[in-house]
């Protein structure tokens, strides 16, 4: 548990330079919502992110959501935003776009159009086009019918040779549809640290989903934290979004300018 180890981690998180804090959004900064459009981060959490930036910490949000969505959901000047699992990143004075992923945008669009008639037959299902990737959400679909939905979706995509090359990555009641490129949240984190000159051993990464495991594995020297219990490559865990906010509050207090 993270909070059982803060005394040990404290000196590492207080000393100069200020730490780098990288976080997932859904299930980490904001509670999971049945409809992704309804997800909201608590006002206190946004205030804490802004405080950490004022205290000269590097703060980044790395999410499966698009960059456009993140700009709206996390409106904090000075924040690094990484959308579509890090395939598009916006930092202070720099940007990154994975060119191989951009070339696959037409294929993603065709996948979304292929899935729309299937989704229409399953109340509560939603297919979301996020530009570089897409998501099939089924949190509102009954547990009894969800396997049928996934079977039909996979089958429809695999029947088309031009779509069978797409990666289908399961998440928490979501199927991510991605271009088959060598990229993930872990590689995005490494790029962010390289571009900003920040040290991995001065970095905290917090996430709750399978996609965050890539970051946990790519950051062996960082303080990696999983939200929720389960098999994980992270070193520590917190029990939920409330504990993430509590930890950010502790960090902001510990890194106040003297």
246, 240 contact by CB (below 8 A) = no
Q: Which candidate, 55, 67, 57, 56, places its Cα nearest to that of 25?
A: 67
d(CA 72, CA 184): 23
Question: How many whole angstroms separate alpha carbon 189 and alpha carbon 187?
Answer: 5
Alpha-carbon span 62 to 83, nearest angstrom: 6
Residue 228: half-sphere exposure toward Cβ, Cα within 13 Å: 15
Q: Write out the catalytic residue numbers.
A: 24
What long-range pairs does 195-203 form, CB within 8 A, spacing at least 24?
195/91, 195/94, 195/96, 196/20, 196/58, 196/80, 196/91, 198/17, 198/20, 198/58, 199/17, 199/20, 201/12, 202/12, 202/17, 202/19, 202/20, 203/19, 203/20, 203/21, 203/22
């Amino acid at each position: 548990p993270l909070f059982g180890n803060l005394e040990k981690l404290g000196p590492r998180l207080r000393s100069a330079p200020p730490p780098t804090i990288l976080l997932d959004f859904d299930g980490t900064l904001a509670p999971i919502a049945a409809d992704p459009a309804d997800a909201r981060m608590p006002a206190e959490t946004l205030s804490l992110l802004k405080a950490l930036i004022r205290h000269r910490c590097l703060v980044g949000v790395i999410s499966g959501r698009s960059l456009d969505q993140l700009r709206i959901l996390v409106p904090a000047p000075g924040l690094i935003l990484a959308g579509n699992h890090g395939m598009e990143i916006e930092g202070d004075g720099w940007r990154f776009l994975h060119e191989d992923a951009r070339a696959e945008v037409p294929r993603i669009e065709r996948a979304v159009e292929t899935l729309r008639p299937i989704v229409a037959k399953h109340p509560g299902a939603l297919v979301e086009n996020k530009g570089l990737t897409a998501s099939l959400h089924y949190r509102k679909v009954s547990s009894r019918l969800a396997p049928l939905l996934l079977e039909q979706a996979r089958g429809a995509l695999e029947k088309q040779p031009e779509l069978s090359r797409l990666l289908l990555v399961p998440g928490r009641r979501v199927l991510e549809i991605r271009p088959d490129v060598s990229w993930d949240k872990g590689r995005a984190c490494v790029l962010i640290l390289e571009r900003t000159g920040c040290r991995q051993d001065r970095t905290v990464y917090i996430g709750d989903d399978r996609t965050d495991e890539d970051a946990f594995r790519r950051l062996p020297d960082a303080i990696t934290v999983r939200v929720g219990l389960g098999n994980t490559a992270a070193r520590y865990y917190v029990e939920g979004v409330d504990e993430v906010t509590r930890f950010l509050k502790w960090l902001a207090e510990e890194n106040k300018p003297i």
